[in-house]
Amino acid sequence: MRIEDLIINLCDDPFNPELNFNVAVKYEEMGQSASAVTFYLRTAEYGHDTHSHLAYSSLLRMAYCFDTQNDRQHTVINCWRQAILVDPYRPEAFFILSNYYERQSAWQEAYVWANMGLAQADETPLPIDVGYPGRFALYYEKAVSGWWLGRREESIEIFNRLLTQDIPEHYRQSITENLKRINPDASI
């Protein structure tokens, strides 16, 4: 559906979270991150009480929008944290935070957020991709950050277990490289 049609639909029910979400997604697809933010934020504000999956997803997509604008890191992190406030029982925001801190070499934070994510059980599908590869990715973050925190044996055990699972090839390669580095004597 074209953006103008989606907005016309919205005119009939301007505070409807689903209609706001549809407009936001379309603007994001069109590369208009600021426009998308406006409607994702409306989705979260008007959908918090009735459409928690939409509100949660919107706050995570908002973070991606701000990330594309560069140098808005406090706002990006704020969006992730607010998503957790909407639904603290989902793993996606915890994974994103863990991954972010891993890239910053902030190992304690990465380890904590990975463990928080692994403690959450709700993995019912979201209405849009929010950049969560699956539960294995939380274990991956836990193993990577844990090694830097002195949890070598735990890391090796997690990595080896992940290699027995059906995981994306780039994760498999990364795990193999990590194991060679941290446990060079072992046969993989």
Partner 1 sequence: MVQRAVAHGGKLAPIVFPHDLVALMNPSVFIDSDGDILVNVRATNYTLYHSENKQLFPSPWGPLSYLHPEKDQRLVTENYLVRMNKELEVTDYSKVEMLSLHTPIWEFVGLEDARLVQWAGVYYLIGVRRDTTTNGQGRMEYSTIALNKNKWEAKEVARKRIPTPGEDKSYCEKNWVPVLDRPYHFIKWTSPVEVVKSYPDTEGTEQVSLRQGIVPNKDQRGGSQLVRWGNCYISVSHEVDLFKNYLQQKDGIYRHRLCVWDDQLNLVGLSKPFSFLDANIEFAVGAVILGEDLLLSFSISDNCAFVLRTPKLVVEDLILEALDYAN
Q: Which two tokens stand for residue 122?
A: 């709700």
Nearest to 86 by CA among 56, 127, 59: 56
The least CB distance from residue 98 to partner 1, in Å, is 21
3-class SS shares of the chain: helix, strand, coil, % to 5? 70, 0, 30
Which parts of 118-137 interact with partner 1 (CB under 8 A)? Answer: none
The least CB distance from residue 121 to partner 1, in Å, is 24
Cα(93)–Cα(83) distance, rounded to whole angstroms? 7
**Site stretch for partner 1 (CB under 8 A), options 31-39, 94-102, 103-111, 155-163:** 31-39
Distance of CA 89 to the CA centre of its chain: 14
x-or-dash string of contact with partner 1, 39-78, rule CB under 8 A: --xx-xxx-x----------x------x--xxxxxxx--x
Among 32, 160, 174, 183, binds partner 1 (CB under 8 A): 32
Q: Does 30 bind partner 1 (CB under 8 A)?
A: yes
